[in-house]
Amino acid sequence: MNKITIYTDGSSRGNPGPGGWGVVLISNDNIMELGGAEYHTTNNRMELKSAIEALKNINNVSNTWKDSEIIINADSEYMVKGITLWISGWIKNNWKAMDKKPISNQDLWKELLSLAEGKNIKWQTIRGHVGIDGNERADEIATSFADGNRVNLYNGPKEEYPYVL
């Protein structure tokens, strides 16, 4: 089975404040980096946005993704626990929390759920800022966008990737 490994990260300067998201998509032969910014957002929204954009762009890194195991690595427990543990309860409770208040970021949760549907995804929480190369690069992309800095995003053969993986 083919494998696609994804590292996602989100950043917000202030919460809310300017934010950015970063993704490193790795297939057998190719690597694609993605990133973007929003003017007024939160860290949690940027974490969700990174996974959404990764799944939206997965066909650009591998035309065999339908037959692939997709591993999404994120340093956001909020995102991983939300999509693997909590979301079924939110749906059952009409997108309300135990305290009957609406779930935050419903728009992004619904989009992420829709994009994940039918895909063979393994969601993994990893520790941030501990030297995991893909996570460090996703963080660099996200924080650069949050800071309004220019980022050169790579898209090409794995063997020419300028960063360590």
**Averaged pLDDT, 32-48:** 97
pLDDT digits (tens, 9 = 90+) for 42-55: 999 999 999 999 99
Domain boundaries, the chain: 2-76+112-151
Q: What is the pTM of this model?
A: 0.95
Edge-to-edge strand ranges of the sheet holding 17-26:
121-125, 68-74, 2-12, 17-26, 30-41, 155-157
Q: Is 69 one of the annotated active-site residues of the chain?
A: no
The reply to whether 29 belongs to the active site is no
The pair of structure tokens assigned to 73 is 């690595």
pLDDT in tens, 66-84: 788 999 999 999 999 999 9
Q: What confidence tens digit (pLDDT) does each residue in 97-110 have?
A: 989 999 999 999 99
Q: Indicate if 133 belongs to the active site.
A: no
Q: Active-site residue among 129, 131, 159, 160?
A: 129
Please tell me the distance from the alpha carbon of residue 134 to that of residue 96, in angstroms, as a whole number. Answer: 34
Is residue 10 annotated as a catalytic residue, yes or no?
yes
CATH code for the part of the protein at 2-76+112-151: 3.30.420.10
> Which residues are bridge partners to 23 per DSSP?
8, 34
Q: Which residue has the tokens 């690597």?
A: 31
User: Which amino acid is residue 21, in one-letter code?
Assistant: W
Report how far apart, in Å, the C-alpha atoms of 151 and of each of 7, 36, 118, 146, 162 are. Answer: 17, 10, 32, 11, 14
